[in-house]
Amino acid sequence: GFKSFCITKTFSLSVGNAQGFKKIYLKGGIKMNYKIAVVAGDGIGPEVMEQNILVLNEIGKKFGHTFEYTHVLGGGCAIDKYGEPLPQETIDICKASDSVLLGAVGGWQWDNLPGDKRPERALLGLRGALGLYANLRPATLHDALKDACPLKPELVADGVDIMVVRELTGGMYFGEKGRKQTDMGEAAYDVEQYSEKEVERITRKAFEIARKRKKHVTNVDKQNVLESSRLWRKVVEEVAKDYPEVTLEHMLVDNCAMQLVKDPAQFDVVLTENMFGDILSDEASMVTGSIGMLASASLNDTKFGLYEPSGGSAPDIAGKGIANPIATILSAAMMLRFSFDLDKEADAIENAVAAVLKDGYRTIDIMSEGKEQIGTAQMGDKICEYIK
């Protein structure tokens, strides 16, 4: 079974029959066998990942693919076993895979460790080592979940469908940091720095995505104060010239925080730097009912990607079987779509999630009156059932 997480282990699961493989192979020359590195991590990570794998296997069965999972350690569980959050072996196995699925990292046990020894280093280290500079976080309000949205119904009557495109390997997350003595006592700093090339590549991603959506990009920065934002905005304007069919709008980050709860329907693609994107994507997720719904893809310039829910490890509810696995499962759908070009398969997951919600099944975080509350495993089961 998939019960023993936090150990390095390879599972190989063959599904479908040889004939089926051959047929599809001849049809489109589509790759049938995918190697996936799994970093289940800490807290609710392993529980939601278990459901995620069951759902992926159901997809494999239905469409005739083989997903081969290699479980690797990252985060707090790696600290406990190896004394470091991101063992080299984990990086190597992720690099050798077609994609990475990540659950969540972190927890109170490791909260007092120094910055470079914390579980979060696993995530930041992987993003850096794999060059995953583009983080896509779709915040979509499901029709069925309008009740779970904390905003007044009239504000979301026309629906919400935002794609946050967050730069993920620059800014103050990765800038120079340190401590120094000043006449005001010890001081600490994290440098916010962006180069033209870094801004250009994330901007191109945002515009390319906007092209396939409502063709509207809101660039979010703080150019009235920050020099890095002034360079950022200049580059965005340059790149925008290559996409005349896409409308570009600029918004200061404080205003954006306000607009997201005042009129979320105005947004299509939101382009922003690392730290602003971290904060705004959490805010956008609440508009959709719960952070337990928010998937995320982290991409580089190849087909490779790391897919994870935007939420954290939620140690307060870990092990209780009540966590919402949907964000993780929708992240796997993003993997099928972006990394493997398996659109039909991704649709099947997304449609199953929508149908389960429509039929009134809810985990506790999105529960509302008159609905049926179910746990993590039951939610996974239901989604598998609907895929079948």
| Residues near ligand IPM, by CB under 6 A | 120, 123-124, 278, 310
The active-site residue out of 34, 133, 173, 386 is: 173
Q: Which amino acid is at 211?
A: R
The active-site residue out of 116, 143, 242, 254 is: 254
Asked if 296 and 331 count as a contact pair (C-beta separation under 8 A), the reply is yes
The active-site residue out of 42, 69, 194, 222 is: 222
> Which residue's CB is nearer to ligand IPM, number 42 or number 58?
42
**Residue 106 exposure: Cα atoms within 13 Å on the Cβ side:** 13
Residue 200, contacted partner among ligand IPM, Mn ion, none, CB below 5-8 A by kind:
none
Q: How far is the CB of 47 from ligand IPM (least distance, A)?
A: 18
Q: How far is the CB of 299 from Mn ion (least distance, A)?
A: 17
First to last CA, the chain: 21
Q: What is the largest CA-CA distance in the chain?
A: 75
CB neighbour class for 26 (10 Å; exposed up to 12, middle 13-18, buried from 19): exposed
> Which residue's CB is nearer to ligand IPM, number 123 or number 383?
123
> Which residue's CB is nearer to ligand IPM, number 94 or number 239?
94
**Residue 116 falls in the annotated catalytic set:** no
Residue 313, contacted partner among ligand IPM, Mn ion, none, CB below 5-8 A by kind:
none
**Residue 173 falls in the annotated catalytic set:** yes
**Residue 194 falls in the annotated catalytic set:** no
350 to each of 33, 55, 110, 228, how far by Cα in Å? 22, 11, 35, 38
Q: How far is the CB of 278 from ligand IPM (least distance, A)?
A: 4
Q: How far is the CB of 263 from ligand IPM (least distance, A)?
A: 24
Q: How far is the CB of 104 from Mn ion (least distance, A)?
A: 11
C-alpha to C-alpha distance for 179 and 181, rounded to whole angstroms: 7
Asked if 166 and 281 count as a contact pair (C-beta separation under 8 A), the reply is yes
345 to each of 255, 332, 353, how far by Cα in Å? 38, 10, 13
Asked if 80 and 321 count as a contact pair (C-beta separation under 8 A), the reply is no
**Residue 282 falls in the annotated catalytic set:** yes
> Which residue's CB is nearer to Mn ion, number 98 or number 273?
273
132 CB-near residues (< 8 Å, 6+ apart): 126, 168, 169, 298, 299, 300, 305, 306
The alpha carbon of 325 is separated from its chain's Cα centroid by a whole number of angstroms, namely 13
Residue 123, contacted partner among ligand IPM, Mn ion, none, CB below 5-8 A by kind:
ligand IPM
> Which residue's CB is nearer to ligand IPM, number 168 or number 356?
168
CB neighbour class for 315 (10 Å; exposed up to 12, middle 13-18, buried from 19): middle
Nearest residue to ligand IPM by CB is: 120
The active-site residue out of 42, 221, 278, 365 is: 278
Q: List residues near Mn ion by CB under 5 A.
A: 278
Residue 328, contacted partner among ligand IPM, Mn ion, none, CB below 5-8 A by kind:
none
> Which residue's CB is nearer to Mn ion, number 84 or number 120?
120
Q: How far is the CB of 26 from ligand IPM (least distance, A)?
A: 41
Query: Which of the residues are catalytic?
Result: 173, 222, 254, 278, 282
